[in-house]
Amino acid sequence: MAAETAATPLVPTLLVPTLHTSRLRLTPFDAQADRALLFPIVADPEVMRFLEVEPLRELTDVDALLADYAQRVATGDKYVWAVRPAAAAQGEAALLGACTFELDRSRRRAEVGYYLARRWWGQGLGKEAVRAVVDFGFGAQGLNRIEALAYAENSGSLALLRALGFRQEGYLREHAWEKGRYWDDVIFALLRREWEQQGVECSAQQV
C-alpha cells in the first residue's frame, strides 16, 4: 500500500464541521430554522444575478434547495455551510448567506461557491467566509487545489477571489447557457503551496 502523506485526505465525513472566524460562524443548515431566513436572500435578484439559478419565488422552493443541499452533503462529497454572525443574541438564528464546497477527493481538489445577503456586502465578510472554507480545504481536508468559477461580469466575485490569492487560469467564452443567454466564465484556482506561501495563519478554527 502506498505510504500516506500529509496531503492524504481525511476519511470522508458526513458531518459539516462548524468553522469559526473573528466575525463569523459557518455551521450546518437547519432546514426548519433557516428556511425563512434563507428565503429573502435567495429571492433577491441582485444576489442571484450571477448564480446559475433564477431567484426563488416560494418558501417551498427554499425547502427544495435545502433538501438538495442535505442530499449532497449526505453523499460525503459536498459541504454546505450557513454563514452566521460569530455572536448572535441568544435564540437569534441570524443568517448572512452560504458557502458550498464540492469535493473531488481522489483528485485532491474542490470547488468553492458563496453568496451573502446584499446588506452584508462590502465589509470583507465574503472574503472572511471563503478564507475559512479554503483553510478547511487545505487544512483538515488535505486538498491540493481549490477552484472557483465566476461569470466574467461578476466583478465582486472576481475581486474576492483575487484578494484571496486565487489565480485566473482561463477565460471560458460562452461557457454557460443560463437565464436565456450565454455567459463567459472565468476559472480561478489556488494551490496548496501558494496558500502556504501566503504565510497567513489559519483564520478558521474548526470545532
Ligand X SMILES: CC(C)(COP(=O)(O)OP(=O)(O)OC[C@H]1O[C@@H](n2cnc3c(N)ncnc32)[C@H](O)[C@@H]1OP(=O)(O)O)[C@@H](O)C(=O)NCCC(=O)NCCS
Residues in touch with ligand X (CB under 6 A): 47, 50-51, 114-116, 121-127, 150, 154-157, 159-160, 163
Give the shortest CB-2-to-ligand X separation in angstroms: 36
Q: Rounded to the nearest whole angstrom, what is the least distance from the CB of residue 11 to ligand X in the complex?
A: 30
The secondary structure of residue 186, as a DSSP letter, is E
Cell 449526505 belongs to 74
**Shortest spacing between CB 73 and ligand X, in angstroms:** 19
Cα 62 to Cα 33: distance, rounded to the nearest angstrom: 12
Q: Cα–Cα distances in Å, from 84 out to 25, 40, 87, 116, 202? A: 5, 15, 8, 10, 19
For ligand X, the closer of residues 74 and 163 by Cβ is 163
Which residue type occupies 190?
Answer: L
> CB–CB of 62/38 below 8 Å?
yes
Smallest distance, Å, CB 161 to ligand X? 8
CB nearer ligand X, residue 47 or residue 66: 47
Our CB check for ligand X shows the closer of 138 and 188 to be 188
The DSSP H or E segment spanning 194 is helix 192-197
Residues 36, 103: Cα–Cα separation, whole Å:
28
Find the shortest distance in angstroms from Cβ 202 to ligand X. 18
Which CB atom, from 51 or from 70, has the smaller least distance to ligand X?
Answer: 51
Decide whether 12 or 156 has the Cβ nearer to ligand X.
156
In degrees, rounded to 5, the angle at the alpha carbon of residue 15 between the alpha carbons of residues 11 and 16 is 110
User: Whose Cβ is closer to ligand X: residue 17's or residue 121's?
Assistant: 121
CB of 142 to ligand X, least distance (A): 25
Closest chain position to ligand X (CB) = 126
C-alpha cell at 94: 441570524
Are the C-beta atoms of 184 and 175 separated by less than 8 Å? yes
Q: Which amino acid is at 159?
A: A
